[in-house]
Structure 1
Amino acid sequence: MIKRICLLVALLGQCLVSKSEDFVITKFGAINDSTVLNTKAIQKVIDKASIHGGTIIIPKGVYLTGALFFKPKTHLRLLPGAVLKGSDDIKDYPLLPSRMEGRSQEYFAALINAYRVNGFTVSGPGEINGNGLRFWKAFWSHRDSLKTIGRETTNLEVHRPRLLFIWGSNDVIIKHVKLRDAGFWTTHLYQCERVLIDSCDIRSPFKPVPAPSTDGIDIDVCKKVTVSNCYISVNDDAICIKGGKGPDAHKLPENGIVEDILVEGCTFGSAHASVTLGSESIHARNITIRNCRVDNDCPLLKFKMRPDTYQIFENITVDHITGTCGTLINLNPWKQFFDLGKSREKPFGIVRNITMSNIKVSCQSLGDIVGNISDQVSDIIFKNISVTAKSPGLNNKYEKVTTDNVFVNGIAFVLKNKS
Structure 2
Amino acid sequence: MKQPTRTCLIVFLLLASTVNTWAQQYLITEHGAKPGNTDNTSAIQKAIDRATVEGGTVIVPAGLFMTGTIQLKNNVTLQLNKNAVLKGIASKAVYPSIPIKYKLHTSAGQSGRALIFASQAENISITGEGTIDGNGEDPLFDSKDNVNTMRPYGLLIESCKNVTISGVKMQHSAMWMQRYVNCDFLRITGVTVFNHANLNNDGMDIDDCHNVIVANCIIDADDDALCFKSEGDRGVKNVVVTNCILATHASAFKFGTGSTGGFESVQFSNTVIRQSLATNMKHPFKQKSGLTGIDLASTDGAVIKDVNISNISIDSLENPIFIKLGNRLRKTSVTANGKAGSIQGIHFSQITIKNSGISPTTITGFPANYIHDINFRDIFIEHKGGGAAKDTSLVVPENSNHYPGTRMFERKLPATGFYIRHVKNISFNNVQIKLTGNDLRPVMVCDDVEEMALNGLKNKTLNPLKYAIVLKDSKDIIISSASNIEGGVQQLNSKSVTINK
1:174 is the counterpart of 2:174: no
Alignment match, 1:294:
273
User: Distance in 1 between the 2:205 and 2:235 partners?
Assistant: 13
Which structure: larger Rg?
2
Please report the TM-score for the alignment, with normalisation by the length of structure 1.
0.82
Counterpart position of 1:129: 133
Select the residue among 329, 337, 350 that pairs with 2:321: 329
Which residue of 241, 253, 256 corresponds with 1:278? 256
> Who is 2:50 aligned against?
48
Which segments of 5 or more consecutive residues in structure 1 lack a partner in the other structure?
A: 1-16, 144-153, 245-253
Matched, 1:402 2:395: no
1:417 Cα offset (Å) = 5.3
| Secondary structure of residue in 2 paired with 1:280 | strand
Query: Which residue identity lines up with residue 24 of structure 2 in the other structure?
Result: E
> In structure 2, what residue type is equivalent to 1:383?
R
Is 1:219 aligned to residue 206 of structure 2? yes
Cα distance change on mapping 1:123 and 1:340 into 2, 3 Å: closer
1:389 has 2:383 as partner: yes
Match of 1:24 among 18, 27, 31: 27
Amino acid at match of 1:277: F
In 2: Cα distance, 1:345 partner to 1:231 partner? 37
| Structure 2 residues without counterparts, runs of 5 or longer | 1-19, 276-289, 386-415, 436-456, 460-467, 474-501
SS in 2 for 1:278: strand
What is the percentage of aligned positions where both structures have the same residue? 25
Alignment check: 8 A CA contact 1:262 1:288 kept: yes
Correspondence 1:234 to 2:221 = yes
**Distance in 1 of aligned mates of 2:200 and 2:329:** 15
Report the CA distance shift for 1:229/1:290 in structure 2 as closer, same or farther (over 3 A): same
**Larger relative CO (CA 8 A, sep 6+): 1 or 2?**
1
Alignment of 1:194-205 (within 5 A): 194-205=185-196
> Secondary structure at the residue paired with 1:347?
coil
Instruction: Note if contact 1:315-1:352 (Cα within 8 Å) is conserved in structure 2.
Output: yes
* 1:303 alignment counterpart: 296
- What is residue 379 of structure 1 aligned with on the other side? 373
SS in 1 for 2:257: coil
SS in 1 for 2:185: strand
Q: Which of these residues, 254, 257, 273, is aligned with residue 235 of structure 2? A: 257
Pairs within 5 Å for 1:358-373: 358-362=350-354, 363-364=356-357, 365-373=359-367
Give the total of aligned pairs.
374
Write the distance in 2 (CA, Å) between the matches of 1:211 and 1:310. Answer: 30
Hey, what's the Cα distance between the residues in 2 that align with 1:26 and 1:100? Answer: 38
Aligned residue number for residue 286 of structure 2: none
Cα–Cα, structure 1 residues 178 and 417, in superposed 2: closer, same or farther, change >3 Å?
Answer: farther
SS of equivalent to 2:233: coil
**Whole-Å separation in 2 of the counterparts to 1:272 and 1:101:** 24
Asked if the contact 2:106/2:334 (under 8 Å) is kept, the reply is no
Mapped contact 2:142–2:198 kept (Cα < 8 A)? no
Q: Shift in Å at residue 52 of structure 1? A: 1.8
1:63 to 57, 62, 65: 65
Coordinate RMSD, CA, aligned = 2.8
Rounded to whole Å, the distance in 2 between the matches of 1:366 and 1:31 is 54
Q: With structure 2 as the length reference, what TM-score do the two structures score?
A: 0.69
d(CA) in 1 for partners of 2:214, 2:336: 39
Q: Which whole-Å CA distance do the structure 1 matches of 2:78 and 2:273 have between them?
A: 30
